[in-house]
Structure 1
């Protein structure tokens, strides 16, 4: 199916996920970042993320928000305010360096210590060649940054620690189980379209109603974020599965 219009970039993977009705419920509205699309979505959602169609590590991501007659454009720790959409869009255009960008509805993520966080679910082929969740880790954004990515300064933390203020201890295991099930469904679906990949890193954002949103699906997920946790059990399993996949594949 890879030759049928699905490409290994953000838009291609988004379109692939849209073909599954259950998974589509967890996808934030996403379009090509044309001027008309950005303006229309900004009027409807007030906060947007502008992402390069190709790229990893959170590089080149902008946050654009609209409050009253103010437009705020943030990239990294730099934030600029404009009095018109034209001004904000012109600044974005100058910074995008002719790259193809997507515009995505901004999800109001849960915050821990006044900083947003999301979760990375690692899904790999097991030694029996079945999809298996081998790890889940939280990514806490660096202060004043718009992205949570590890290589952009995000802090890896145990998922349970980040969820504790929002999900009672007795409910955490079932809730994390639901997230893991979502990660498995995504990986099984994507493997039917991109069959050559042996691992997926599923980035999940959680809103204030505890609904999980699919932020991104990575086909070459970073394993070493899990090594930053004090408990190395997930990291060891991930590396063991990666070695088995490499030697068998």
Structure 2
């Protein structure tokens, strides 16, 4: 890899993969080529296609193999059927921005709340050298959607409420919360080695029904509007904003 770019999701994935403590939490990801697409579909049957750069859930496509060279695509809440590997690959390449290559990635079977997938947003910041988790909440996908982006109608819950009402089996709430915080801190420490002056990360973490944690992606300029949805999250929002205002120049 040349010099990693802070807004490139694949670059950040590769950096996290180099950390022995974090590699096991990264879903298998490759740059979209026909071979990589077919290899991952053969291996997992479910994959997600997403741009290496971008936000707000734009360009995300879920692909499921439902028969012999027969595929179902979910784009936001719209389904599309495609027959044939070549036809599938050509369709996906045509959705790709000429200047932003796509990733093909193992699709995490996320735990659900009210029958809808959830993931978690953790905000971690620093004013000088020390990192602090300043906020967290859960995103519950809108009915019929697989993406959990707030901009596409996801509901916001506290992390604790989402986990309590989720389909995670044999849930140990305290143990899971400690592990989520530990992973978030490890992410910030890992990426600081490459982006030495950066002051904030938004970590999107998924949990499957077995209780396994996955790092979905890490955002360098995370949206924080979700904290305004619940009164109980307002103190976190104020803390996040205070960190932004009072940050010192890192030396």
Cα deviation code 1:53-111 (max 9, x no counterpart): 11111111111110223301121122101232223222222222434101100110001
Match of 2:133 in 1: 133
CA contact (8 A) 1:64 1:74 kept: yes
Q: CA deviation at 1:169?
A: 11
Q: Which moved more, 1:108-117 or 1:61-70?
A: 61-70
Unpaired runs of 5+ in structure 2? none
Cα distance in 2 for residues equivalent to 1:171 and 1:23: 21
Runs (4+) of structure 1 moved beyond 6 Å? 167-170
CA contact (8 A) 1:59 1:152 kept: no
Unpaired runs of 5+ in structure 1? none
CA contact (8 A) 2:171 2:211 kept: no
Cα distance in 2 for residues equivalent to 1:124 and 1:234: 12
Matches within 5 A, 1:1-249: 5-8=3-6, 9-69=8-68, 70-98=70-98, 99-126=100-127, 129-166=129-166, 171-231=172-232, 232-245=234-247, 248=249
Cα deviation code 1:202-229 (max 9, x no counterpart): 0001011111100001111112221222
SS of 1:197's partner is coil
CA contact (8 A) 2:169 2:209 kept: no
TM-score normalized with structure 1 length = 0.92
CA contact (8 A) 2:72 2:82 kept: yes
Cα distance in 2 for residues equivalent to 1:7 and 1:142: 31
Q: CA deviation at 1:168?
A: 9.5
Cα deviation code 1:27-69 (max 9, x no counterpart): 0000000111001110111000101011111111111110223
Aligned residues: 245
Q: Please give the root-mean-square deviation of Cα atoms over the aligned residues, in Å.
A: 2.0
Q: CA deviation at 1:146?
A: 2.3
Cα distance in 2 for residues equivalent to 1:4 and 1:85: 32
Q: Which moved more, 1:20-29 or 1:5-14?
A: 5-14
